[in-house]
Amino acid sequence: MTHILAIANQKGGVGKTTTALNLAASLAHSGKRVALVDMDPQGNATTGSGIDKQTLQHSSLDLLLDRADFASTVLHCKAGKYDLLPTNGTLTTAEVALLKTPMREQRLRHALLPAATNYDYILIDCPPSLSILSINALAAATGVIIPVQCEFFSLEGISALVATIEKVARMANPKLRIEGILQTMYDPRSTLTMDVEAELKNHFGQQVFQTAIPRNVRLAEAPSHGLPALTYDKHSRGAIAYRGLAGELVRRHQHKPNNPQKPKEQP
């Protein structure tokens, strides 16, 4: 079974791209077949994978508009050991370009279908907004990983995202569920971090990953070298944490319950 996971949160700066890059690399280095889809017009996942986004022959926009297929768009990232559907700033035109396109919310889903069985995991790096690009990602996904920075304002945006996930599940993708809540920039010495963690576990229970991603300089440095932290410094706390997250994710899927737990209520 292919697990297609959207990494989403409409709040910026919570570690979506960092999670996409490092989870992809960690899963790939553990022997899983992985593809990473860059659906953020900033193209940070593309750059962080060591790909020059200014010289792309095809991008995820071409995939959405049927100007290219998966095979002609995908690139291989040697350091991360995963495949990448790259993007660049042209993706900003998607909102207008897809305006009169039939089934515009399902374009990514249909584009991924021919290649999905070639992978164990397909991760989708979403933009920091609930736009047509994010809706395409949610319509294509089987689960959503929600990175949450351990600060008060990060909690406020979760309600809107959960409501959107539930709406997409009702209207376009009944398989969609919350895969897990991932705490990022985690500092166990901080009272605020502990308060945020308690609030998350109160509302989401076991959907909160046991693994938390710490603040770590190596995680911030690695993308500027076009490398995942696992390759840049495999002994760093950030790299170790993402390897732990990959292991936890795989174990969850090996022992997946028939009826995954839903949040008790929106925070």
pLDDT in tens, 188-244: 899 999 998 999 999 899 999 999 999 999 999 999 999 999 999 999 999 999 999
Is pLDDT above 50 for 267? no
Q: List alpha helices for the chain, DSSP H.
A: 16-29, 44-48, 60-64, 70-73, 94-97, 107-116, 132-140, 152-156, 158-171, 191-204, 217-221, 229-232, 237-254
Q: CA 261 to CA 207: how far, in whole Å? A: 7
156 against 185, higher pLDDT:
185
Residue 116 CA, chain-centre distance (Å), reads: 16
Side chain identity, residue 127: P
Residue 66 CA, chain-centre distance (Å), reads: 23
31 against 152, higher pLDDT:
31
Q: Which two tokens stand for residue 32?
A: 């899983």
What's the CATH number for 3-254? 3.40.50.300
- Global pTM reads 0.93
Q: What is the mean pLDDT of residues 75-100?
A: 93
**For the chain, what are the domain ranges?**
3-254
Is pLDDT above 70 for 264? no
* 244 Cβ neighbours under 8 A, 6+ residues apart: 211
Separation of first and last alpha carbons in the chain: 32
Q: CA 147 to CA 153: how far, in whole Å? A: 13
Is pLDDT above 70 for 261? no
What pLDDT score was predicted for residue 256?
67
Q: What is the mean pLDDT of residues 53-82?
A: 95
Range with top average pLDDT, 73-87, 128-142, 153-167: 73-87
Average pLDDT of the residues of the chain? 91
Alpha carbons within 13 angstroms on the beta-carbon side of residue 133 total: 28
What pLDDT score was predicted for residue 13?
85
DSSP state letter for 207: G
